[in-house]
Structure 1
Amino acid sequence: MNCMNCGAAVSGAQVCPVCGFDLGVQRKALQLSVLYYNQGLDKAEIRDLSGAIDLLKQSLRYNKLNIPARNLLGLVYFETGEAVAALSEWIISKNILPEQNMATEYIQKLQAEPAKLDMINQTIKKYNTALKCCREGNEDVAAIQLKKILNQNPKLIKGCHLLALIYLKREEYEKARKILKKAMRIDKTNSTSLRFLKEVDEQTGTVTSLEPRRFFKSRKGELAQEEPMENMTVIQTPTFRESSVAATLLNIGLGLVVGGLVVWFLVVPSLKQGINRGANEKIVEYSNTMASQETQITDLKRQIEESDNTVASAQQQISEAGEKTAAYENLIKAFSAYNSEKYDQAAKALEGMNTELLSVDAKAVYDKIYGNIQTTMFKQLLKDGQESFDNADYVTAIDKLSKAKEMNADDFTVLNLLAHSYRYAGDTQNAIANFQEIISKFPKTKRAASAQNFIKQLGGTTGDTTTEDTGNDDGEDIGDDTTGGVPDGE
């Protein structure tokens, strides 16, 4: 035995010589595990499988390394038709004790018959399908499916219980009694089987006998078949013979008529009923098959939708991870350029960065760099916007100048270039909005008057913008109003 605290080997000591752990509780747990294993073995020998499963689980609860108990639990599971649970217990047992373990032999025997293993797996899948049909109200399809399952895997007690439950709902109590007695022959003390049998007995008023029937041959029939006595005289009655040909023909005719009537009134209706019954059975079978296939198709569609959702979620996570990685890479580049006093490169690295993807600490670094190089970034964006405007790339100019406006919304050059970029790009609404902003921020100046003229050209309206010639005014920045002009950009 090994100490459960430190793993040191101990013999008969009550205290671990290495760590001083009290071994009394551990020894008591091991003894209880052996006791429950022996009781479970006794239950299994008398086919009390439910009781055996409970006791063996209790044994493993006290000692999970009890290999005989785990192997026996797998055998009991396999006997109740649950091959998957049995295989799980044997695999755990083999991992605990790889050498000289009966679980290895059980697994090899099960794997040596792949057809049987596949059949068991199919029956379990069909059972789950039948259970789903019951929950959806398709008891007829479930009953047909369960009958096929029990023909392939007759030891599946759960299948017997579900089929019996369907019979109880239909009030077919004798069929339910028959299938429950079959389940009781596999597991004599199964609580579910006993509960269902009690319900059958209460509904029918008869007590179900679980004892096997015994048939005895009667000797009465054998005595009647004794050889006849040799001295018995057999008297034969005289036969009547017709000598008239007409009478013979009459009898033949009457026989034919009677035979025809018998065929017409007895044989033909019976044949018709047989044909109709067979056709009805085929129709029911095809209907059940179609219902089962529709259920499988619905299940497959649901699985496909779940797979599509999983793929979409994974792609979204990959995309978000890529964006987050790009944000951190740009932040690292900006930090490196900032430390090297290359503020232009740092500004380009920070331009357009999604700060929502950064952590709290990374956001603090971004705010520090951004605050120190904001002016540089503003000048770079204004320069790029001016160049794009001069090259008639108004989409890029709008993008750059909009970002510059976010940094400094009071700069006339930015507002002026942005308004004309929108004007040349055909976005009249945004162009008027930016011209109106110039009027609001530079009222009663030539700038405001020029902006008002362009608003009128674009079909907009403005308020009073009387021009005052102030000494510090930069003057008109727009060319000929009638031709549209090109802004100087200051």
Structure 2
Amino acid sequence: SDDLSIIQLKKVVNLNPHFIRAYHLLALLHMKQKENEKAKKFLYKAAKIDVTNTTTLRYLKELEVSEGVLKDPSANPEAEHSSTGAIMPISSYREDKPNIMAFVNLVIGVIIGIAVTAFLIVPTLEKRQATNPDSEYVDYSTSLAKIEEQENTIDTLKNDKTQLEQQIETLQNQIDNATVPEDKAAIYDSLIEALQLYLTELGKPESSRDYLTIADLLAGIDEKQFTSESAGTLIASLRDITYPDAAQSHYDKGHDLYSNGKYEEAIKELEKAIALNPEDVNAIYFIGRSYHRLDDKDNAALYYNIVLTDYPDSNRASDAQTFLDQVQD
């Protein structure tokens, strides 16, 4: 509904008070409901951020508010409070850059900003550009109908971020307050490095994130060497997040190498895949095929048997049996 859309958009501008287009959306929704005074209120806020914005001026004109109102507070009592901000030179808005070395500060702007922009605002704006002005109100209302579900996604990300913050803070306090033997300092270094890399990847679009390096770092950490329960929990959480994508990346590389006849290199990548995901029957199968191609029948038989024994109902079982018969002849 329009009311729900208005509520959600108000939350958006609370997260980012400089989001001019969010104010435009709010104004349009109020205009649709014939609440022109409320629409003006949000347009004046947009004008205070950028007095030259043509969209703001156009919407004000549609509300029969002349462009001069922004410069003459006496022409409209409601504009009086925002006139100072409207006529003064406005410095360009710059978001505060997060302090990566503080770990958690990176997440606040990145997760919420990306989620709000990607899930809420961008689809709406793209749809608006593809339609004519007569259907503008309907398009915004339709696009914003999914905001409740998308807000739940943001809440989940914020909760995950909060939990991760707490784990980082606990672990960092333990490191700062404890005397770590010289030979174990590197253990903590690897964990902190993996965490820094993970937070950096969160700042990228989801399709561009690369968890391979993080997963490799985590795979080299022996959690049994940590006496802290929170450290073990943090390691497990990071592995749950990064291992599936990293395992798939190793498998894809290994399969490509196999297809190009580079069997020894393929085995290395596929072994990394099953180290991160031991249940990947495809990786197990193609390790067997690679050994078979290298005429290493013993190792080929070993992996074919794993497929047949542990995954008898998989789509690789039939081929594994056929090739096992070949290497055992």
Higher helix fraction: Structure 1 or Structure 2? 2
Q: Which has the larger radius of gyration?
A: 1
User: What is the TM-score normalised by the length of structure 2?
Assistant: 0.36
Q: Identify which of structures 1 and 2 has the higher relative contact order when contacts are C-alpha pairs closer than 8 Å and 6+ apart.
A: 2
**TM-score, normalised via structure 1 length:** 0.25
